[in-house]
Amino acid sequence: MNGAGNRGQYSAAERERGRLDRLYGGEILHVRATATSALAAKQVRDDLAGLLPSETDPRDAEGTLGLAAFTKCLRGYLRSVRTRPEWRTWIPAIVEEAGLPLATLRFDTPNLRVVLARPEDKEYSDAVCFAHRDTWSAHHQAQINWWLAVYDTPWEASMAFFPDLFTHPVPNNSEEVNYAERRFLDLIGRASEAERPSPRASGDFDRSAEKRIPTLAGDLLVFSAAQLHGTRPNTSGRTRFSLDFRTVLADDAERNKGPENVDNRSQGSTLMDMLRVEV
């Protein structure tokens, strides 16, 4: 990853602060696998291998097993990944190893995302491939998103970023998000996708400067939650697996640090439900 100018002139804390401020300014960091991100990626690869018939590469299983059998194998596992107790130590470790500040860190636990290699399936693409900022879903303006590659991920399976639009308003339906209402629906078990659609960019916007970043297993893409991004049809011929989680520095949130809000109209904040670093 990039350093902060002449390393000799800056303390570790200043370098960490500098990286975070660059993320707030719209930079996307590609961090090579750290000890703990590599460990997390390997854990998921081992788990997936254990769920599927031997000799079946998880990346090819949607084709070799068929979609229904593949989905059945994964269903319970996808739900269980988030609740692994290891994340409470692994995530702060990853943040530290990536050279970002830990003080007053809040975080959530990762989702395992599976993007099928079905670029010809328009219904599937419409459901999963849409551009958005995470801030439109009531995530804090100071939030940082972390995307972790479980396997090597080529350009054809990578998500897209639109960094040129970081400071430009994009039409969207974020006004439909009220976090307090969504939280209540979650509590009473009525949080279907129909009741809480994910906000998305609407209408036309300039996609010409789309950026994709191929990654190796364990690599991290680190970016502001205000960064416009989205899944693209996976034309790699293999299923893509990735983990993603989110962090916020509570001190920065309190001081209203982070990028300017250019087009987010969601209400409430997910910050209250994030975990703290255990000391």
Smallest distance, Fe ion to C-beta of residue 27, A? 17
Residues 6+ apart with CB under 8 A from 231: 115, 128, 129, 130, 159, 160
Closer residue to Fe ion, CB minimum distance, 62 or 134: 134
Give the residue at shortest CB distance from Fe ion. 134
Interactions with Fe ion, residue window 130-169 (CB under 5 A)? 134
Burial class from Cβ neighbours inside 10 Å (0-12, 13-18, 19+) for residue 21 reads: middle
The residue among 134 and 219 lying less far from Fe ion, judged by its C-beta, is 134
**Considering the complex, what minimum distance in angstroms separates the CB of residue 241 from Fe ion?**
16
DSSP class of residue 201 equals: B
CA nearest neighbour of 116 among 66, 162, 80, 53: 66
**In whole angstroms, what is the distance from residue 65 CA to residue 176 CA?**
39
Least Å from the CB of residue 239 to Fe ion = 19
Nearer Cβ to Fe ion (16/134): 134
- Residue 35 Cβ vs Fe ion, minimum distance, rounded to whole Å: 26
By CB under 5 A, residue 16 contacts Fe ion: no
Please state the closest distance from residue 113 (CB atom) to Fe ion, in A. 10
Segment contacting Fe ion by CB under 5 A, of 60-68, 113-121, 127-135, 164-172 = 127-135
User: What is the DSSP secondary structure assignment for residue 35, as one 8-state letter?
Assistant: H
> Under rule CB under 5 A, how many of the chain's residues touch Fe ion?
1
Q: Which of the residues 72 through 101 are near Fe ion (CB under 5 A)?
A: none
Look at residue 258 and give its three-state secondary structure: coil
Cβ closest to Fe ion, residue 38 vs residue 228: 228
| Spatial contact of 91 and 278, defined as CB atoms under 8 Å apart | no
**Which span (4-12, 92-100, 126-134, 190-198) binds Fe ion, by CB under 5 A?**
126-134
- For the bound state, the minimum distance from the C-beta of residue 145 to Fe ion, rounded and expressed in Å, comes to 6
β-bridge partners, 243: 112, 148
Residue 175 and residue 136: Cα distance in Å, rounded? 8
Instruction: Compare residues 108 and 134 and give the one whose CB is closer to Fe ion.
Output: 134
Work out the end-to-end distance of the chain between its first and last CA atoms, rounded to an integer number of angstroms: 28
Question: Which is nearer to Fe ion, 73 or 191 (by Cβ)?
Answer: 191
Interstrand relation of 229-230 and 111-115 (parallel, antiparallel or unpaired): unpaired
- Interface pattern 237-266 for Fe ion (x via CB under 5 A): ------------------------------
Min CB(9)–Fe ion separation in Å: 35
38/116 with CB nearer Fe ion:
116
Cβ at position 261, least distance to Fe ion in Å = 16
Q: Positive or negative, the Cα torsion across 83, 74, 135, 151?
A: positive
User: What Rg value do the Cα atoms of the chain yield, rounded?
Assistant: 19
Residues 6+ apart with CB under 8 A from 233: 118, 119, 125, 129
| Residue number with CB closer to Fe ion (52 or 266) | 266
Identify residues 200-239 at the interface with Fe ion (CB under 5 A).
none
Where along the sequence are the contacts to Fe ion (CB under 5 A)?
A: 134
